[in-house]
Structures are given as C-alpha cells and as structure tokens.
C-alpha cells in the first residue's frame, strides 16, 4: 500500500493541512515545545499557551534561564504539570551541552520528558530523520486502513501499529508524512466517526471496504473513576492567606503551592464550610471541602503566610485556584 497511500495522503496534507503556529518552520526548539505541550492536550487548548511561551521565551536559552515558578505560572491550566518541569530540565540540559538539540530519536530520548512518540516527532519534523511515530490518531488511522482489531491502548495493537508506522513511513518526507497521519486522524478519521467522503485514503481502507469503519478501532477500556475526598484549610490573618508547598513525594500535584490539607497542619482547627470544589486528575475525581481554619502558632516548614493579592501568582493548579476562588 505504501506508494499509493503516501502519494494520496501527502497530496491531501499539502492542500488541506491546518495553519498551526508550530508548522511555520522546522526550528527544533519550537517543534519540541509544541510536541511537549500537545501530549495529552488538544490543539485548540495548546495554541494560546504555545504563543505565550514563545513570547516570553523566544529562544531555548531564555527558557533555560527561567525560574521554575515562572514556567509553572505560564503553564497554569494546561495540566500534567510534570511536563513543565521536564521542559525546564531539558532546556537546561541542552543549553549546558552547547545549545543544540540531539538530532536523532535515540539522542532525544535521553532528555527529560521525551519518550518514543515525542522523539520520533521531533526527529522527523525538525531534522528530517526517517523515524516513525504512533499516537492515538495514528492508531485509529492504521486500525481502519488495515482493519486491525484490539484495544487501541493495548500492547498487542500498539505493537502492530508501530510496525506499520515503520513499514509505511515515507522516508523522503518523514516529518510531513507523520504530520499527515496525525492530521487525518484529528480532522477526518476521527473518534466520533470517519468522514470517508473527505478521506484521501478511502479507496485503500480495508475497514471501509468491509463496512467496519465505524466499529474500528474498538473503544479503549476505560478505568473506573476513583473518588477521593479532601479537606482544604482556609486560614486568613491580617490580609494574608496561609499556603502550603506540597512535597515532591506527594501523589497529586507535587511541588505545587496550594491550601494545606488537615494532615499538613496537625494543630489547625477546621471550622465553617466555605465552598465545595470538584476537580479531576487523570481518572481521579476529587471532592474538596474548603473550610475556615485557625492556623497553629508554630507553622511547619512547608507553610507560608502570603498576602492575598499575591497568592494567585503562586497557585498553578486550577484545583487550588478554585479552592481560593481566584
């Protein structure tokens, strides 16, 4: 299928691709930044963050020199905050090594936050390396093109798709080819149902030929949501609010500033309910009861009194912004 599929899909991509800000050039810094942001996040959500980051950090060296708190503030609301920390770590590593990104997938995977997919994306798009990639869009496209059954997140189907991504790779234009596959999955061969009348690969699609285009791939097995209940303490004094910096060993939101939980302030007395906040982190559904509290006279090391007007600048997670009603 390779040659006919490659010609049809690349021709469609050249004519129909979306005008996205990270497609304006192949600068490795910009490609890397966009790919990290696009992990687990939609294109529409990423665009304003990407543009703000480039406005503040136009070069890799600018990001490498930044304070973590500023990077986290610019990331606030984008979620999966370990990506932001890895972004800063990788920027510093590359800058310390001379300022040039590794130009192979193998070299890129040594950087924090870069796995198999992201390494393939950067290597192919920024450096023209013939590297395959597989994300959710590519799994869906290949599952339909080749009538593959199985759990799209399961190891068996993932292995088959990675093998196809390698054999079908257009080696003269690997970056455009990889983007074309993802573009097709995002805009035409979508999870809600393929628009076969608009698909450049419809004549070559095994699922369409067998009438299976709406049933492949099978829905991924969903994890049942886990419900958690937290109590957050809202202590105020002289125009200040008590914030807590969560430890790096916290299961949720490590390293974030937020309102302390009861376990953080053993001597605090929780009182009147101020508000309830609902928040989701991956498959966890967290119900937070925000209660007025009086802080103990002796504060533990993680606690700090902060002027209320300055508190929003420290709060990155929308959970704590909602809890403080910012």
Residues with a known catalytic role: 35
CB-based contact 130:169 (threshold 8 Å): yes
Cβ atoms of 59 and 29 closer than 8 Å: yes
What are the DSSP calls for 107-155, one per residue?
Answer: HHTTSTT--HHHHHHHHHHHH--------HHHHHHHHHHTT--S-TTSH
Q: Which of 229, 177, 148, 131 is nearest to 8 (CA)?
A: 177
Which residue matches tokens 């990506």?
83
Cα distances from 189 to residues 14, 126, 208, in angstroms, run 17, 25, 11
Secondary element (H or E) of residue 158: helix 155-167
**Alpha-carbon gap, residue 324 to 326, rounded angstroms:** 6
CA-based radius of gyration for the chain: 23
């Amino acid at each position: 299928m390779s040659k006919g599929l490659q010609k049809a899909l690349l021709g469609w991509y050249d004519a129909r691709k979306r005008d996205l800000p990270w497609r304006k050039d192949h600068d490795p810094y910009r490609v890397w930044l966009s790919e990290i942001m696009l992990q687990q996040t939609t294109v529409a959500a990423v665009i304003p963050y990407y543009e703000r980051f480039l406005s503040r950090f136009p070069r890799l060296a600018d990001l490498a020199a930044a304070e973590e708190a500023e990077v986290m503030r610019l990331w606030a609301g984008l979620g999966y905050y370990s990506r932001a920390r890895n972004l800063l770590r990788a920027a510093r590593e590359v800058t310390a090594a001379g300022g040039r990104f590794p130009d192979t997938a193998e070299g890129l995977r040594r950087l924090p936050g870069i796995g198999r997919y992201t390494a393939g994306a950067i290597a192919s798009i920024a450096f023209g390396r013939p590297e395959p990639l597989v994300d959710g869009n590519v799994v869906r496209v290949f599952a339909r093109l080749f009538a593959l059954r199985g759990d799209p997140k399961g190891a068996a189907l993932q292995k088959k798709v990675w093998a196809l991504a390698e054999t079908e790779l257009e080696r003269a234009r690997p970056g455009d080819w990889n983007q074309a596959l993802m573009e097709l999955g995002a805009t035409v061969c979508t999870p809600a149902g393929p628009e076969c009348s608009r698909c450049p690969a419809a004549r070559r699609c095994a699922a369409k030929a067998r009438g299976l285009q709406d049933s492949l791939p099978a829905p991924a097995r969903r994890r049942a949501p886990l419900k958690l209940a937290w109590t957050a303490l809202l202590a105020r004094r002289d125009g200040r609010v008590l914030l807590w910096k969560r430890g790096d060993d916290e299961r949720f939101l490590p390293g974030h500033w937020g309102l302390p939980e009861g376990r953080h302030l053993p001597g605090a007395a929780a009182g009147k309910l101020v508000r309830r906040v609902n928040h989701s982190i991956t498959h966890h559904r967290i119900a937070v009861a925000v209660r007025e509290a009086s802080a103990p006279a002796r504060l533990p090391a993680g606690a700090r009194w902060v002027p209320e007007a300055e508190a929003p600048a420290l709060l990155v997670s929308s959970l704590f912004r909602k809890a403080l009603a910012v």
